[in-house]
Amino acid sequence: MTAPSVARPRRLFPRRSGLAWRRARWGYVFIAPWVIGFLLFTLFPMVATLAFTFTNINLGQEDPLRFVGLKNYETLVSDKQTWDSLIVTFKYALLALPIAVALPLLVALMLHSRHLKGSSAFRILFYLPYVIPFIAGVLIWGGMLSNESGWLNDALRALGIDHPPDWLQDPTWIYSGLVIMGIWGIGAGMIVYLAGLKGIPSELYDAARIDGAGAFAQIRHITIPMISPVIFYTLILACVEVLQYFLVPLVLKNGTGEPGGSTYFYNLYIYKNFFTFQNMAYGATLAWLLFGITLLITLVLFRLSRRWVYYAGEVR
Amino acid sequence: MALPEATPLAPPAATRSRWRVRRRTRVAEGSRPPSLRGDGRRSFLLTLIAVVAVAAFLSPMLRAATVSIKNQDQLSLSGSPLLPSDPVTFPYQGKDLPLFKVPIDGTVKELALLEPGRQHSTFVDPAAPDGPPIEWQGSWRTLEHVFVLAPHFDNFAKVWDLIDYPRLLFNTVVLAIISTIGTLLSCTLVAYGFARFDFPGRGLLFTLLIATIFLPGAVTIIPTYTMFVKLGWVGTWLPLLVPTFFANAFDVFLMRQFFMTLPRELDEAASIDGAGPLRILRSIILPQSIPVVVAVGVFHLVYSWNDFFEPLIYLSTKPELQPLAVGLARFNGIHSREPGLIQAGTLMTLVVPVLLFVIFQRAFTRGVVITGVDK
C-alpha cells in the first residue's frame, strides 16, 4: 500500500486556507458513500455482533433477552465441535496454502519463459476457469472426481492404479479432493505473479548468467527474492480465504460435514449456528473468535515478512 | 494543451522503457554464439508440457460438455463409452432386443439378447434373424453393450423448462446490471475523493477501507441480515442491490490507483477555467479512465453473476426471484441422479461469464495486475 500523501510536507495541525478547506469538504462529499456504507454495513454490524456475544439472543427468543456475561465464551471453550471444526479448517489449510501460493507461481514461471510458444493463449486458458460461477465449478468437479464415472479415476485406473482414492467420500482423501477442486482459482494469482516477473530487471539475470548461474540458481537467487512481495501478498490473501472456506462443503455435502465430520469447517459451524440452530449469540461468539484468529495470523505474517520479503528501494 | 490519449493501466512510461530494455537484451543474446538447436528442443518440450497441463486443467469442462449431451440410459449403464452414445437394439418379433458383444467360436459377434439367464442365455444373430437362436454359456451381465454415437441435445431444452431458465436468466441479468451501475457510480466518486482531495484523516480512512478486505463476513452478517429483516427487505432484491451503491474496497482501490497515475495539470488548468470538481471528474478524469471503468464494470458483472451466498440467504423463500447460481444449486438438489441434466444446467450458467471473459480478457488481466501488484 502506498501512503497517500507523502508527496507534500505535512504538519500535525495544518493551517488550511479557505480554498484548502473547500477542497477538503469536497473530498468528504466524494467519499461519503463509502463512509456511510462502512458505518451501516460494517462498523455497526461488527459492534452489534460483539454485543450479541454477551447476551442470549436467538431467533425464537423464548427466554427474555438478557446480559449473560461470559457464558457464551465458557461454552465455546468446552464445546468439542468448535475445536473439531478449527482442526478441520487447519488440516485443510495445511494442504491448501502451499498449493495456493506455489501452483500459480509455477504456472506463471512457465508462461514467462521465453522458450514457451503462444504464451498469451496459455495465459488466457489458465485464467479462464476463474470466471466460472463457483456453483458450476463445484458441480463440474464433483462429476470429474466421482469414483465411478469421473475422468480422474478413469485415468488413474488406466495407469494401473486399481483402487484410486474416492476423493470426495473418503475422510482421508477429502482434503486432497477439495484442493484439486480449488485449482481452478489459480488465475488471479498467476496474473499477479506474471506482472511481478515482468518487473524484474533483466540486467540481474544477465549478470547472474555471466557469473555462471544456471536456470535453477537464477530462480532461487533472483526470481524468488525479487517477487517475494507478490508471494507475500498471495499468501495473505490465501490465508484470509482459507479461514473463511465453507461454501464448497456446504454445497457438496449439503452442510452435513460428511464424510465423518471431515468437512465440518469452522465457518460452516458458524453458518449453522446462525441459520440452522438460530443461536445468534453463540454464532456471534464463534465469529469473533474467527476475527481474532484472522487478525492474529495476519499480524504474525506481517511480522515474519520482514525476514524474507525484499522490497527493492527500501532503506534498511 | 491537448488531451493525452487514453493511458493503459500501468504507468505507461515505465512499461515502455522496461520493454525497450528487454528488446535490447534479445538483440544482445542474438549476437552470442547461437545454440539454436538446443533452444528449439527446449521450446518444443516446454510448449508440449504447457499443452498437456492446460488440457488436464480444462478437461473437467470437456467432461461436463460430453455428459451434458448424454442420455440418462447411457449414464446408468456401466462401461459405457466416453462419448455420448446410445445402446443399440434390434427389432425382433415386435420387441426391441439389446445388442451385446458376445465372444463366440474364438471371435466376438454382435448378437441380440433374446432370453437372458444366469448360466446361459439365448441370442439372435441380427445378420440372420430367421436362423436358429444361438445358445451361449455364461452370465449375460458380464457382456458389453453395443453402442452407437448419439449426442442428445434435448437435455438443454429440458433444463430450460425445468428450472424456468428465462426467468432465472432475467433475474441474473437485471441484478448484475443494476449492481454494476451502483458499483461504478459509487466507486468512481469515492476513488476520486481519495485520489484528488487532501483532507484530514484521509490516510486513516483509506487504511480502514483496505482493512475491510480482510474482515471475515461472519462478523457482520447477522446484524446486517436482522436489519434487512426489520426493513422488510428479505425476500426482495434490495439487500443485494442497495449496498452496491455504497462502494467496495476492491474496486475503489483499483480506480484510485488508476486516478493517481493521471497528470494533475489538466485538473488544475480546468479548475482555473472555473470548472467545479464534478465537472472535472466528468470531462477530464473519466474520459482518460475508460480502461479502468471497463475493468471494474466487467469484474463486477462477473462477480454479481457468480455470487451465490448472498442471494441464497436473502432469496431462499422466493425461487421466482433467484439468480441462476442459486437456481442451479436448487436444481442439483432435485435432479442430482441425472448428471446429464445437471451438467447441461451447469453449462447454461457459465456460458455468459465465459463469453464476457473471452471478449474482455484484456480488461480482466489488467485489472488483476493493478489490484495485485501495487499493494
In the 3-class helix/strand/coil scheme, how is chain B assigned residue by residue?
CCCCCCCCCCCHHHHHHHHHHHHHHHHHHHCCCCCHHHHHHHHHHHHHHHHHHHHHHHHHHHHHHHHHCCCHHHHCCCCCCCCCEEECEEEECCEEEEEEEEEECCEEEEEEEEECCCCEEEEECCCCCCCCCEEEECCHHHCEECEEECCCCHHHHHHHHHCCHHHHHHHHHHHHHHHHHHHHHHHHHHHHHHHHCCCCCHHHHHHHHHHHHHCCCHHHHHHHHHHHHHCCCCCCCHHHHHHHHHCCHHHHHHHHHHHHHCCCHHHHHHHHCCCCHHHHHHHHHHHHCHHHHHHHHHHHHHHHHHCCHHHHHHCCCCHHHCCHHHHHHHHHHHHCCCHHHHHHHHHHHHHHHHHHHHHCHHHHHHHHHHHHHCC
Please report the pLDDT score of residue B327 as a whole number.
93
| A16 band by pLDDT with thresholds 50, 70 and 90 | low
Please report the pLDDT score of residue B10 as a whole number.
38
Answer yes or no: is B135 within a domain. Answer: yes
Q: For residue B46, list chain A residues with Cβ-Cβ distance below 8 A.
A: 110, 113, 115-116
Identify any residues that bridge with B85 across adjacent strands, giving them in sequence order.
B149
Mind listing the pLDDT tens digit for each residue in B190-201?
Answer: 999 999 999 999
Percent of chain B with pLDDT over 90: 40
Is there a contact between B339 and A149 if contact means CB atoms under 8 Å apart? yes
B201 with B309, same domain: the answer is yes
Structural domain harbouring B166: 156-373
How far is it, in rounded angstroms, from Cα A201 to Cα B69?
50
B236 with B287, same domain: the answer is yes
Is there a contact between B46 and A34 if contact means CB atoms under 8 Å apart? no
The shortest C-alpha distance from A172 to chain B (Å) reads 23
Percent of chain A with pLDDT over 70: 93
How far is it, in rounded angstroms, from Cα B255 to Cα B184?
10
Please report the pLDDT score of residue A3 as a whole number.
45
A29-47: average pLDDT: 95
List, as ranges, residues 61-100 from A with C-beta within 8 Å of B. none
B221 with B263, same domain: the answer is yes
B205 with B346, same domain: the answer is yes
List, as ranges, residues 147-206 from A with C-beta within 8 Å of B. 148-151, 183-184, 187-188, 191-192, 194-196, 198-199, 201-203, 206
Answer yes or no: is B115 within a domain. Answer: yes
List, as ranges, residues 32-51 from A with C-beta within 8 Å of B. 33-38, 40-42, 44-46, 48-49
Please report the pLDDT score of residue B135 as a whole number.
77
How far is it, in rounded angstroms, from Cα A152 to Cα B91?
38
CA end-to-end distance (rounded Å), chain B: 33
Answer yes or no: is B11 within a domain. Answer: no
> Which residue from B172, B68, B217, B358 is spatially nearest to A131, judged by alpha carbons?
B358
A13-26: average pLDDT: 78
β-pair type (B107-115, B144-145) = unpaired
Q: Confirm if A37 and B246 have CB atoms less than 8 A apart.
A: yes
Q: For residue B52, list chain A residues with Cβ-Cβ distance below 8 A.
A: none
List, as ranges, residues 252-291 from A with C-beta within 8 Å of B. 254, 267, 270-271, 274-275, 280, 283-284, 286-288, 290-291
Answer yes or no: is B274 within a domain. Answer: yes
Cell of A229: 512481495
| B246 band by pLDDT with thresholds 50, 70 and 90 | very high
Identify any residues that bridge with B149 across adjacent strands, giving them in sequence order.
B85
> Which residue from B314, B351, B308 is spatially nearest to B327, judged by alpha carbons?
B308
Size of the A and B interface in Cβ pairs below 8 Å: 280
pLDDT at A223 over 80: yes
B174 with B47, same domain: the answer is no
B131 with B58, same domain: the answer is no
Q: Confirm if B339 and B264 have CB atoms less than 8 A apart.
A: no
| B310 band by pLDDT with thresholds 50, 70 and 90 | very high
Q: For residue A34, list chain B residues with Cβ-Cβ distance below 8 A.
A: 186, 190, 209, 246-247, 252
For domain A71-308, the CATH superfamily is MetI-like (1.10.3720.10)
Q: Confirm if B309 and B33 have CB atoms less than 8 A apart.
A: no
How far is it, in rounded angstroms, from Cα A236 to Cα A232?
6
The shortest C-alpha distance from B111 to chain A (Å) reads 27
Mind listing the pLDDT tens digit for each residue in B282-303?
Answer: 999 999 888 889 888 988 998 9
What residue in A sits closest to B341 (Cα-Cα)?
Answer: A139
Q: For residue B199, list chain A residues with Cβ-Cβ distance below 8 A.
A: 23-25, 27-28
Is there a contact between A244 and B206 if contact means CB atoms under 8 Å apart? no
**b/e per residue A26-55 (b: at least 16 CB within 10 A):** bbbebbbbbbebbeebbeebbebbbebbbb
Find the CB nearest A1 among B210, B332, B350.
B210
Residue A9 has φ and ψ, to the nearest 5°, of -65, 140
Residue A55 has φ and ψ, to the nearest 5°, of -125, 180
Please report the pLDDT score of residue A259 as a whole number.
86
B78 with B98, same domain: the answer is no
Cell of B315: 432469496
Dihedral angle over CA of B281, B285, B291, B295, nearest 10: -30
Mind listing the pLDDT tens digit for each residue in B316-337?
Answer: 989 999 999 999 999 998 888 8
Q: Confirm if B139 and B118 have CB atoms less than 8 A apart.
A: yes
Answer yes or no: is B4 within a domain. Answer: no
| Burial class of residue A287 (count of CB atoms within 10 Å of its CB; 0-12, 13-18, 19+) | buried
B194 with B311, same domain: the answer is yes
B56 with B187, same domain: the answer is no
Highest mean pLDDT: which range of A55-59, B139-143, B238-242, B331-335: B238-242
A171-194: average pLDDT: 90
Please report the pLDDT score of residue A14 as a whole number.
56
B243 with B296, same domain: the answer is yes
- SS3 letters across chain A: CCCCCCCCCCCCCCCCCHHHHHHHHHHHHHHHHHHHHHHHHHHHHHHHHHHHCCECCCCCCCCCCCECCCHHHHHHHHCHHHHHHHHHHHHHHHHHHHHHHHHHHHHHHHHHCCCCCCHHHHHHHHHHHHHCCHHHHHHHHHHHCCCCCCHHHHHHHHCCCCCCCCCCCCCCCHHHHHHHHHHHHHHHHHHHHHHHHHCCCHHHHHHHHHCCCCHHHHHHHHHHHHCHHHHHHHHHHHHHHHHCCCHHHHHHCCCCCCCCCCCCCHHHHHHHHHHCCCCHHHHHHHHHHHHHHHHHHHHHHHHHHHHHCCCCCCCC
pLDDT at B16 over 90: no
B353-368: average pLDDT: 81
B169 with B135, same domain: the answer is no
Instruction: List Cβ neighbours of A237 (8 Å cut-off, separation of 6 or more).
Output: none
Domains of chain A, residue spans: 71-308
> Which residue from A135, A113, A19 is spatially nearest to B45, judged by alpha carbons?
A113
pLDDT at B183 over 90: yes
How far is it, in rounded angstroms, from Cα B230 to Cα B225?
9
Answer yes or no: is B1 within a domain. Answer: no
Cell of B273: 477555467
B137 with B281, same domain: the answer is no
